[in-house]
Amino acid sequence: MKFFVDTADVTEIRSLIETGFVDGVTTNPSLIAKSGRPLQEVLKEICELVSGPVSAEVTATDLEGMLKEGRFLAKIAPNITIKVPLTPNGLKACRQLTKEGTSVNVTLCFSAGQALLAAKAGATYISPFIGRLDDIGETGSDLIHQIIEIYSHYPYFTTQVLAASIRSPLHVVEVARIGAHVATIPPKILHQLYQHPLTDKGLVDFLADWEKTGQSILPG
């Protein structure tokens, strides 16, 4: 499974890239706004840091506006993926941008039926928001399972399932077990994947035992 990092914080992205675990980046208008910087400047810098896909979201809701914004954003860098909402106009824009050779991430997916439409529209990625479904008493990981099951019946569907709205390390593990192609993960959650109290305790114990020997692994 690929890991995308869900942030527009360039400093954080640069740090996470050093781990070797970052395969791409997802942004949205809210994340860009938090950066306090011009959108084009932020996206260009992220694309220079990351070799994989970088999702940049349109803000228009009409078809013509989505296409204009999508084409403009796509020119910023060759690894830009245009993010459009799962609306009728969004899917029309997806189909057209895909025909033009642009990678498209269809976002705000909350049902398997919506995901089916996105695949038929030629989306590169479909982004089901599992955390938001959990918030209203549904089980977000069930949606991932349904989408993957549906897509598996139709080999001509090339859309990748990009699990979004990840709220915990458990979410990451759940969608990996189900078979999501990608998880887009907030930096905080990516850092938490390292953590387990038994790992910390084991390391302390090992080092204490080694110190008692008075030895050094490296000579002199």
Residues annotated as catalytic (active site), given as ranges: 83
| 33: number of Cβ within 10 Å | 11
| Residues 67/93, Cβ–Cβ less than 8 Å | yes
Exposure string over 128-156, b if 16+ CB within 10 A, otherwise e: bbbeebbeeeeebbebbbbbbeebeeeee
CA angle 8, 11, 12 (to 5 degrees): 70
| 210: number of Cβ within 10 Å | 12
In degrees rounded to 5, what are phi and psi of residue 74?
-65, -25
